[in-house]
Amino acid sequence: MRNSLWRLLLGRLLFGVPTLWVVITVAFLLVRLAPGGPFDAEQRLPPAVKANLDRTFGLDRPLVEQYQRYLGRVLHGDLGPSLRLRDRRVIDLVREGLPVSLTLGGLALVLALLVGISGGLLAAVRRGRAADRVLAGVSVLAVALPPYVTAPLLVWIFAVYLGWLPVAGWTAGRWLDLVLPVVALALPTAGSLLRIVRASALDVLASPAIQAARARGLSATRILWAHVLPPTLSPVLASLGGAAAGLLGGSLVIESVFGLPGMGRFLVEGALNRDYTLVLGKVLVYAVLVLVLNLGADLGALLLDPRLDRRGAPR
Partner 1 sequence: MSRLLRIRLTLALFGLLLVAALVGPALSPWSVAALDWDHPAVAPTWQAGHWLGTDTLGRDVLVRSLAGLRVSLSIALLASAIGLLLGGATGALAGSVGGFVDGLLMRIVDVGYALPVVLVALLLTVVLGRGASTLLVAAGTVGWLSTARMVRAETQRLALAPYVLAARLIGVAPVRLFWRHVLPNLIGPVLVQATLTVPSLVVLESFLSFLGLGVQEPNASLGNLLHDGAREMERAPWLLLAPAVLLVSVVGALTVLGESVRDEIAHAD
Spatial separation of the C-alpha atoms in residues 115 and 193, rounded to whole Å: 8
Among 283, 295, 301, 313, binds partner 1 (CB under 8 A): 283
Spatial separation of the C-alpha atoms in residues 83 and 242, rounded to whole Å: 32
Spatial separation of the C-alpha atoms in residues 259 and 254, rounded to whole Å: 8
Among 287, 295, 297, 301, binds partner 1 (CB under 8 A): 287
| Nearest residue (CB) to partner 1, 223 versus 245 | 245
- Least separation, in Å, of the C-beta of 148 and partner 1? 5
Among 53, 85, 145, 229, binds partner 1 (CB under 8 A): 145
| Nearest residue (CB) to partner 1, 45 versus 268 | 268
Site for partner 1 in 18-37 (CB under 8 A): 19-20, 22-23, 27, 30-31, 33-34
Residue environment code for 17-42, b if the CB has 16+ CB neighbours within 10 A, otherwise e: eeeeeebbeebbeebbeeeeebbeee
In sequence order, the β-bridge partners of residue 81 are 89
Among 141, 209, 220, 226, binds partner 1 (CB under 8 A): 141
What's the one-letter identity of residue 240? L
What's the one-letter identity of residue 106? G
CB of 131 closer than 8 Å to CB of 123: yes
- Least separation, in Å, of the C-beta of 23 and partner 1? 6
| Nearest residue (CB) to partner 1, 13 versus 144 | 144
Among residues 100, 10, 8, 12, the alpha carbon closest in space to that of 291 is found at 12
Spatial separation of the C-alpha atoms in residues 91 and 95, rounded to whole Å: 6
CB of 168 closer than 8 Å to CB of 155: yes
Number of H helices, E strands in the chain: 13, 0
What is the chain's Cα-based Rg? 24
Single out the segment in contact with partner 1 by CB under 8 A; choices: 52-60, 67-75, 141-149, 223-231: 141-149
Q: Does residue 183 touch partner 1 according to CB under 8 A?
A: no
Q: Does residue 131 touch partner 1 according to CB under 8 A?
A: no
Among 14, 49, 144, 226, binds partner 1 (CB under 8 A): 144
What are the backbone angles phi and psi of residue 89, rounded to the nearest 5°?
Answer: -95, 145
DSSP single-letter state for residue 81:
B
Single out the segment in contact with partner 1 by CB under 8 A; choices: 39-47, 73-81, 104-112, 148-156: 148-156
Single out the segment in contact with partner 1 by CB under 8 A; choices: 62-70, 147-155, 170-178, 304-312: 147-155
Q: Name the residues that contact partner 1, by CB under 8 A.
A: 15, 19-20, 22-23, 27, 30-31, 33-34, 140-141, 143-146, 148-149, 151-153, 156, 160, 195, 199, 241-242, 245-246, 248-249, 252-253, 256-257, 267-268, 271-272, 274, 276, 279, 283, 286-287, 290-291, 294
